[in-house]
Homo-oligomer: A and B are copies of this chain.
Amino acid sequence: MRIAILGAAGMLGRRLAERLAAEGLLAGETITAFTLHDIFPAQPVSGNFDVEILTSDFSEEGEAERILSQRPDVIFHLAAVVSGEAEADLDKGYRVNLEGTRALLDAVRKIGGGYRPRFVFTSSLAVFGAPLPDVIPDDFLLRPLSSYGAQKAVGELLVADYSRRGIIDGLSIRLPTICVRPGRPNKAASSFYSGIIREPLNGEEAILPVPRTMRHWFASPRRAVGFLIRAAEVAGPGLAIRTLTMPGVSATVEDEIEALRQVAGDEAVALIREEPDPAIHAIVSTWPKAFDARLALDLGFVPDASFEEIVEIYCRDELGRA
């Protein structure tokens, strides 16, 4: 079985490749080969695999065909122009996120001859827009308020239609906000959600720009990789629903801080400095607070048990602490 990952140099793509290589199996079948694609060179996985590393913009003419030339049995499509860039550069966002995704699906179709791979597409909570209920049900409408969200919603529609037509066995999954993101703070409005855990655990000060009552929807990188793998497992020909909101942990900033206190004590919490930022507050207060992700739970997608577990996973997976 050959696995293709688009976005294989990204935070989730790297972890997905490593985990699949370590397990050596997907949906009960032995993995023999990887196609790891990104716009930056992806790291090869370790183990006895045929590994193809491709570096390009997948939305450019002919690239989708090249990426699929080895006919991967499972395609994980994690590649995208991110939210801020898709808003700043309308052309690029639509070209990569919409036309690129369509080019990939059409490249599958043109191979033909019974080729029908499993196709896991990472969608986003950005397909939803205010006004939102406190707990969002599985049948809530799409109302993106960013070009990125609109492009992800279009991707969901394409994956569902191409699945219905028997071209792929697809599944779009809307990932929670990943927390704790490893690495450095960045300019994303969501950066502080990871920062207030990550920086104190590394002995550094963290800025909290919003009130402690702010609530949002989270998954650890480890669980997010689990969602991708579970998506590939369940995306068979018989699946009726082709778009799923992933389960997560609904937590307030206060919940985050208490989880940090449980794991690392008062000294860690003392490193969080409250510095209200009305601009960040305005952005994140329109974001979803919680979902009733019943369909995904029924299909065996397993979320983190608590925000404390999210902090512990960061300590174990990223810092190597027990």
Contact = CB atoms under 8 A, between A and B. Distances in A.
Interface in A129-164: 139-145, 147, 150, 153-154, 157-158, 160-161, 164
A164 B149 CA distance: 12
A317 to B, nearest CB: 35
A144 B158 CA distance: 10
23 contacts: A90-B109, A90-B165, A94-B102, A98-B102, A139-B140, A139-B141, A140-B141, A141-B141, A141-B142, A142-B142, A142-B157, A143-B160, A144-B157, A144-B161, A145-B164, A147-B165, A150-B157, A150-B158, A150-B161, A153-B157, A154-B154, A154-B157, A157-B157
A57 to B, nearest CB: 19
A16 to B, nearest CB: 28
Contact of A160 (B90, B150, B164): B150
What copy number does this chain have within its complex?
A: 2
A10 to B, nearest CB: 24
Interface string A252-266: 000000000000000
Contacts of A165: 90, 147
A150 B160 CA distance: 9
Chain A, interface size category, equals 20 to 34
A165 B142 CA distance: 18
A108 B277 CA distance: 37
Contacts of A109: 90
Contacts of A144: 157, 160-161
A109 B147 CA distance: 15
A32 to B, nearest CB: 32
The 3 closest A-B pairs by CB, nearest first: A150-B161, A150-B157, A139-B141
A183 to B, nearest CB: 30
Interface string A78-118: 00000000000010001000100010000001000000000
Contacts of A164: 145
A98 B161 CA distance: 13
Interface string A263-307: 000000000000000000000000000000000000000000000
A160 B142 CA distance: 11
Nearest to A145: B164
A281 to B, nearest CB: 21
Nearest to A241: B143
A68 to B, nearest CB: 18
A161 B94 CA distance: 11
A319 B150 CA distance: 45
